[in-house]
Amino acid sequence: MSNTVIPLLLDSLASAALIFFAAVGLTLVFSVLRVLNVAHGSLYSIGAYVAASICLFIASRQLSPYLSFVALLFSAVFVAAILGPLIERTLIRWTYGKSEAVQILITFGLFLMLEDLQRMVFGVQSLYEDAPVRLLGTSQIGGVVYLNYQIFLIGMAVLVVIGLRMLIRHTRLGRLITAVVADREMAQSIGIDTNRIFILAFSLGVFLAALGGALAMPTSGVAPGLGADTMVLAFAVAAIGGLGQIEGAAVAALIVGLARVLAIYFVPSLDAVAPYAAMLVVLLIRPYGLFGAVTARRI
């Protein structure tokens, strides 16, 4: 029994880590901007494409493979620094306070544009470079061979959860974000530049999406369609955790990761359905998600 339990748990954790990266930015952006960004998955796949391109370049020039780790992080920063402020200022800002239908239509339009843009820039073939995975090697845990890269992913996810918590609870920026989330008008009245907070929060969301894509690329590569797949999964996870709840997204990722791995172990054909089955069960019991607060509709 224990022979299956340990690999099952490790697999679940590794799967949860990737799922968490896909969802955390979406839920963060929703909590601060109150906009459900349907194009979030595209930012994830753009992160993966940029990371793959840089890693392939590093491999082709036979530069130090350790550089590919720097490349993963750099891709996320690069994508966030360029696309974050650009998308927020040109598109997202016009949707503040508009109805959800308008927000979803506009970000869906953005999704379509970003998907075609990726085909234009990166082509339609899949890209894959696993230098980071090969570099870290493998280890034996419970008689099963594991990629150390998977364990690295789990560590990165834990780091992001702790980092975000520290940022929100213990920094000036975090306090200001908390105030903006609580009440925008009040935040402006006490001197907070809410536009600046929106740009920063959106860019942080883009960074987390792109980081997720970049970190996933060495294990599964990137191909057209990744953005759409990621978006649907990210939405399921965010809904399970309660939209806008960062810790909720972490717990939801664990649940979905476990559900997926259980499916793969015992009923492999249900792999793809598992996340949505988990979402269905959770939302039937708690319609606002695990950590979502029941809020009265304003007007």
Q: Which residues bind other proteins (CB under 8 A)?
A: 172, 175-176, 178-179, 182-183, 185-195
Q: Residue 125 has which token pair?
A: 């073939």
CB of 19 to other proteins, least distance (A): 27
Give least dist CB 88 to other proteins, A: 16
Of the two residues 119 and 196, which places its CB atom closer to other proteins in the complex?
196
The distance of closest approach from Cβ of residue 80 to other proteins in the complex, given in angstroms and rounded to an integer, is 24
* Tokens matching residue 113: 């544009």
- Buried/exposed 171-202: b ≥16 CB within 10 Å, e otherwise: eeeeebbebbbeebeebeeeebebeebbbbbb
Shortest Å, Cβ 181 to other proteins: 9
Bridge pairing between strands 138-141 and 144-147? antiparallel
In the bound complex, what is the minimum distance in angstroms from residue 95's beta carbon to other proteins?
18
Q: In terms of CB distance, is 188 or 219 closer to other proteins? A: 188
List of residues 6+ apart from 292 with CB closer than 8 A: 241, 242, 243, 244, 245, 248, 286
Q: Which is nearer to other proteins, 176 or 261 (CB)?
A: 176
Supply the minimum distance, in Å, between the C-beta of residue 182 and other proteins: 4
Residue placing its CB nearer to other proteins in the complex, 105 or 181: 181
CA distance 39 to 50: 17
Q: Which is nearer to other proteins, 178 or 219 (CB)?
A: 178
What is the CA angle 222-250-169, rounded to 5? 120
Q: Which is nearer to other proteins, 61 or 172 (CB)?
A: 172
- Which residues fall within 8 angstroms of residue 109, CB to CB, at 6 or more apart? none
The secondary element (H helix, E strand) that includes residue 46 is helix 40-60
Kindly report the number of other CB atoms within 10 A of residue 166's CB atom. 11
